[in-house]
Amino acid sequence: MVDKGKIENAIESILHAIGEDSGREGLLATPKRVARVYEEIFSGINIDPQSILQTTFSEEYSGLVTLDKISFFSMCEHHLLPFYGFVSIGYIPNGKIAGLSKFVRLIDVLSKRPQLQERLTEQIVNLIDLVLSPEGVAVIISAEHMCMSLRGVKKMGATIKTVASRGVLNTQNDRFKEFESIVSKAK
């Protein structure tokens, strides 16, 4: 649970620090609003992501399962600015599968905390690898970072791509290429 009162005080301090009058009409409820936003976008902090994938099903399917372009929204922990984009997951089951909504929930929980795209990619691939023990698993994330778009190098629309893979999707290039071609064609 986030301490909304502390966030409100901090936001009021920031408003003062930038030379604003936190008492003017438009800013009066801003600390409260920001506290509610932070409560929502950091709601994944105390949730154990491993618990989400616990419900699995036994299934003899040996092909590739892909989930394309699941949108996500996260906060860069270096600047507390948003980064957002799409996650694509591919895995080859080894007798165990999980419901598709569980993967979406997993991404949600891991995104709703101060994050880095590189770490998010590794965490998703490692958790699927750990819980489902698949033949192989791969994750591709493409995202735009507000800390790149609105400050520093100011590159609007620049996309950062990260890739992580385990098992045969790491060791067998043709299997990874199969995953990559399905994902890149997805709209």
Residue ranges binding Zn ion (CB under 5 A): 76, 78-79, 147
State both tokens at 1.
Answer: 């649970």
Q: How far is the CB of 16 from Zn ion (least distance, A)?
A: 25
Q: How far is the CB of 14 from Zn ion (least distance, A)?
A: 18
Return the HEC string of the chain: CCCHHHHHHHHHHHHHHCCCCCCCHHHCCHHHHHHHHHHHHCCCCCCCHHHHCCCEEECCCCCCEEEEEEEEEEEECCCCEEEEEEEEEEEECCCEEECHHHHHHHHHHHHCCEECHHHHHHHHHHHHHHHHCCCEEEEEEEEEEHHHHCCCCCCCCCCEEEEEEEEHHHHCHHHHHHHHHHHHHCC
- Residue 16 or 78 with smaller CB distance to Zn ion: 78
- Residue 18 or 153 with smaller CB distance to Zn ion: 153
- Residue 76 or 169 with smaller CB distance to Zn ion: 76
- Residue 82 or 95 with smaller CB distance to Zn ion: 82
Q: How far is the CB of 15 from Zn ion (least distance, A)?
A: 22
Determine contact, residues 94/135, Cβ cutoff 8 Å: yes
Residue nearest to Zn ion (CB): 147
- Residue 76 or 110 with smaller CB distance to Zn ion: 76
Q: How far is the CB of 145 from Zn ion (least distance, A)?
A: 6
What is the signed CA dihedral for 114, 117, 120, 121, rounded to 10 degrees? Answer: 180
Q: How far is the CB of 80 from Zn ion (least distance, A)?
A: 8
